[in-house]
């Protein structure tokens, strides 16, 4: 049991930081970092009341070296039905070697381990090489428009140079350290509206059914092979997530058909190319349509190098595992950081319970997780 990490994690879980509320988590972390010589910059963005909290904290060592960023989010997803929880989700609770609470795994566990790892590292290496920085937001589990993306814009405007970044997302699958995310697929969404002519269902010759018109095109889109992927990414996928048409009456041909869809795309495709191919299919089928496109994030990839070498070596030393590199899963704030940082990876605790009722993390993993972060710091900055 790693008591300093456990105590900090319990304090963070106790703060009801439902997105986008930070509930004082970043102030608690900043207070501890300030005692270690960090220059802390609270960065509220968003509405006039600054509802989204962000923090940029940086410490310079005494020698030349890279800037290593430790990134994460203090906000958590809603709890769901409280009566289904075995205990209050904002009261840290121990049972059978697990610590229960919302955010226990995603991702207050990583934040606590990172802070304690840095405290130990700075005590042992006060004149370390380069810089250590924290980039925290309370807008990761929400729309992600006033959080890390805005901080990265702020950093770019200041001319900040970032060299490597570890995002504390829970990436481990069955054992701590068995997987590191060294990239993520891009996300491109669209809302397609196909126009028809509303009419009485008994007189189809006087109407135009947009559902009937769209179905052949949708079948073609679903069968398309968008790319073949590569050694790091699976092939690009296209999925329909929602479809709606009609007035609710059974005797009315709808006047329009609305479809929501999403591409998860590899580095073999571009947003512009995917848009062009999809729209060409719709035009070829003679549809009257419009699409509202939303680019959620570009794909990014960190190839084996100094950062992955240090992190993989630390995992091997602490756990004995040869970690697997993966780009599977959803998006993360790594997609924003990758715009201004050449090496971005994600690593954290076991993710089996994230976003679930009775979210938890193994207490026995807290010490090893902190040690992995610390030894990675030593590998890059000592």
Residue 75 falls in the annotated catalytic set: yes
User: In this predicted structure, what is the pLDDT of residue 2?
Assistant: 60
Contact 327, 182 (CB under 8 A): yes
Comparing CA positions, the residue from 330, 325, 297, 302 lying closest to residue 148 is 297
Complete DSSP assignment for 125-188: -TT-EEEEEEEEES-SSS--SSSHHHHHHHHHHHT----EEEE----BSSSTTSEEE-EE-EEE
The CA–CA distances, whole Å, from 251 to 20, 202, 211, 239, 247 equal 44, 7, 15, 30, 9
User: In this predicted structure, what is the pLDDT of residue 268?
Assistant: 95
Q: Which of 140, 146, 333, 359 is catalytic?
A: 140
Complete DSSP assignment for 216-261: HHHHHHHH-------SSSPPPEEEEEEEEES-S-TTEE-SEEEEEE
Backbone phi and psi for residue 152, each to the nearest 5 degrees, phi listed first:
-65, -40
Instruction: Return d(Cα 279, Cα 286) in angstroms, integer.
Output: 11
User: In this predicted structure, what is the pLDDT of residue 49?
Assistant: 56
User: In this predicted structure, what is the pLDDT of residue 18?
Assistant: 97
- pLDDT of the chain along its 382 residues, tens only? 569 999 999 999 999 999 999 999 999 999 999 999 999 999 999 875 568 999 999 999 989 999 999 999 999 999 999 999 999 999 999 999 999 999 999 999 999 999 999 999 999 999 999 999 999 999 999 989 999 999 999 999 999 999 999 999 999 999 999 999 999 999 999 999 999 999 999 999 999 999 999 999 999 999 999 999 999 999 999 999 999 999 999 999 999 999 999 999 999 999 999 999 999 999 999 999 999 999 999 999 999 999 999 999 999 999 999 999 999 988 899 999 999 999 999 999 999 999 999 999 999 999 999 999 999 999 999 9
Q: Which of 2, 22, 75, 333 is catalytic?
A: 75
């Amino acid at each position: 049991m790693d008591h300093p990490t456990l105590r900090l994690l319990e304090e963070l879980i106790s703060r009801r930081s439902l997105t986008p509320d930070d509930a004082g988590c970043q102030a608690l972390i900043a207070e501890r970092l300030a005692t270690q010589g960090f220059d802390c910059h609270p960065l509220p963005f968003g509405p006039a009341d600054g509802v989204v909290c962000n923090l940029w904290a940086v410490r310079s060592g005494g020698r030349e070296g890279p800037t290593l960023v430790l990134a994460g989010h203090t906000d958590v997803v809603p709890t769901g039905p409280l009566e289904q929880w075995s205990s209050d989700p904002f009261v840290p609770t121990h049972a059978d070697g697990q610590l229960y609470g919302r955010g226990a795994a995603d991702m207050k566990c990583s934040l606590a381990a990172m802070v304690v790892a840095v405290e130990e590292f700075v005590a042992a290496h006060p004149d370390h090489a380069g810089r250590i920085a924290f980039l925290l937001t309370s807008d990761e589990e929400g729309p992600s428009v006033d959080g890390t993306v805005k901080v990265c814009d702020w950093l770019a405007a200041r001319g900040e140079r970032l060299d490597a970044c570890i995002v504390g997302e829970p990436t481990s699958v069955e054992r701590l350290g068995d997987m590191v995310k060294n990239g993520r697929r891009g996300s491109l969404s669209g809302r397609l509206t196909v126009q028809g002519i509303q009419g009485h269902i008994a007189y189809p010759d006087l109407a135009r059914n947009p559902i009937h018109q769209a179905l052949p095109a949708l079948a073609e889109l679903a069968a398309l092979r968008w790319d073949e992927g590569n050694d790091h990414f699976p092939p690009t996928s296209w999925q329909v997530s929602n479809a709606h048409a009609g007035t609710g009456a059974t005797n009315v041909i709808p006047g329009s058909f609305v479809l929501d869809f999403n591409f998860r795309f590899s580095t073999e495709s571009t947003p512009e190319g995917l848009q062009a191919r999809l729209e060409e299919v719709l035009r070829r089928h003679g549809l009257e349509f419009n699409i509202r496109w939303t680019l959620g994030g570009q794909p990014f990839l960190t190839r084996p190098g100094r950062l992955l070498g240090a992190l993989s070596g630390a995992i091997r030393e602490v756990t004995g595992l040869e970690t697997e590199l993966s780009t599977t899963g959803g998006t993360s704030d790594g997609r924003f950081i990758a715009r201004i940082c050449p090496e971005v990876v994600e690593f954290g605790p076991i993710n089996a319970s994230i976003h679930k009722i009775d979210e938890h993390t193994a207490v026995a993993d807290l010490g090893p997780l902190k040690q992995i972060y610390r030894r990675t710091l030593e590998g890059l900055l000592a």
